[in-house]
Amino acid sequence: MKKLRAVILDEKMDSVIRELHEKGMVELYDLTPKLEDPEWGALISHSTPARYGRDVSALLIKTNRFLDLFDNVKLEDNKGGLKDLLNPTLPEKKKVSFQSAEEVISHGKSILEKVEDEAMEYSHRLNELEGKKNNLQQLKKYVEYLLDFDIDLKYIRDGPYTYIVVGLIPEDKISNLKKEISNITEDYFEIIEGKPLTTEDGERKIPVIVVTLKEYMDQVGAELRKWGFEKFDLSNLEGTPKENLDKINREISNCESEINNILNKLNDISKKWYSELLALHELLEIEKERAESYLYFGRTERTYLLEAWVPAKYANKVKEDIERASDGYSVVEIDNPDEPEEKIPVMLDNPKPVKPFEMLTEMFAPPKYNEVDPTLLIVPGFLMFYGIMLTDAIYGLLLTLAGLLLWKRLGKVSEGAYNLGYILTLAGIITVIAGILTGGYLGDFLKQFLGFDIYNTYYALVNPLGDSLFIGESNPLFNFGSISVNNGPIAILLFSIVVGIIHLFIGLSLGFKESLEKKGFKEAFLNQGIWLFLILAIVIGLAIGMPSIIGVAVGIVILLCMIKGYMSGGILDAGLGAMDITGFLGNVLSYARLLALCLATSGLAMAVNIMAKLLGDSVPVIGIVLAIIMLLLGHIFNFVMNGLGSFIHSLRLHYVEFFGQFYEGGGKKFDPFKAKREYTDVTN
pLDDT < 70 regions, the chain: 75-86, 480-482, 684
Residue in 234, 232, 228, 233 with CA at minimum distance from that of residue 169: 228
378 & 470 share domain: yes
- Torsion angles phi and psi, residue 254, rounded to 5: -65, -40
Which pLDDT score is estimated for 202?
85
163's CB contacts (< 8 A; 6+ apart) are: 210, 211, 212, 213, 214, 216, 217, 220, 221
Which pLDDT score is estimated for 167?
92
473 & 599 share domain: yes
Which pLDDT score is estimated for 511?
93
DSSP H/E element including 46: strand 45-46
466 & 533 share domain: no
**Pair type for strands 204-213 and 197-198:** antiparallel
Q: Contact at 8 Å (CB) between 328 and 16?
A: no
Q: 184 to each of 63, 105, 216, 340, how far by Cα in Å?
A: 59, 68, 7, 79
Residue in 342, 274, 346, 299 with CA at minimum distance from that of residue 94: 274
Choose the final residue of a domain: 590, 614, 642: 590
- Torsion angles phi and psi, residue 170, rounded to 5: -55, 140
Which pLDDT score is estimated for 571?
81
335 & 205 share domain: no
467 & 389 share domain: yes
546 & 495 share domain: yes
Beta bridge mates, 554 = none
- Cα 528 to chain centroid distance, Å, stands at 37
Is 163 a member of any domain?
yes
631 & 575 share domain: no
630 & 545 share domain: no
Instruction: Determine the Cα–Cα distance for residues 553 and 523; give it in Å rounded to an integer.
Output: 20
Q: How many domains does the chain have?
A: 4
Which pLDDT score is estimated for 75?
63
Is 676 a member of any domain?
no
* Sign of the CA dihedral running 288, 46, 22, 308: negative
Is 437 a member of any domain?
yes
Residue in 20, 683, 1, 24 with CA at minimum distance from that of residue 330: 20
* Sign of the CA dihedral running 598, 599, 601, 602: positive
Choose the final residue of a domain: 216, 233, 250: 233
407 & 389 share domain: yes
CATH code at 192? 3.30.70.2750
| 3-class DSSP state of 491 | helix
383 & 456 share domain: yes
Which pLDDT score is estimated for 541?
87
Is 291 a member of any domain?
no
Is 520 a member of any domain?
yes
- In degrees, rounded to 5, the angle at the alpha carbon of residue 441 between the alpha carbons of residues 438 and 445 is 120
Residue in 311, 385, 321, 315 with CA at minimum distance from that of residue 349: 311
pTM higher than the cut 0.85: no
Beta bridge mates, 189 = 212
557 & 602 share domain: no
Which pLDDT score is estimated for 317?
95
Domain containing 168 equals 157-233
Q: Contact at 8 Å (CB) between 421 and 407?
A: yes
Which pLDDT score is estimated for 387?
96
Measure the CA dihedral 620/621/622/628, to 10°.
90
Is 111 a member of any domain?
no
Residue in 46, 60, 47 with CA at minimum distance from that of residue 101: 60
520 & 434 share domain: no
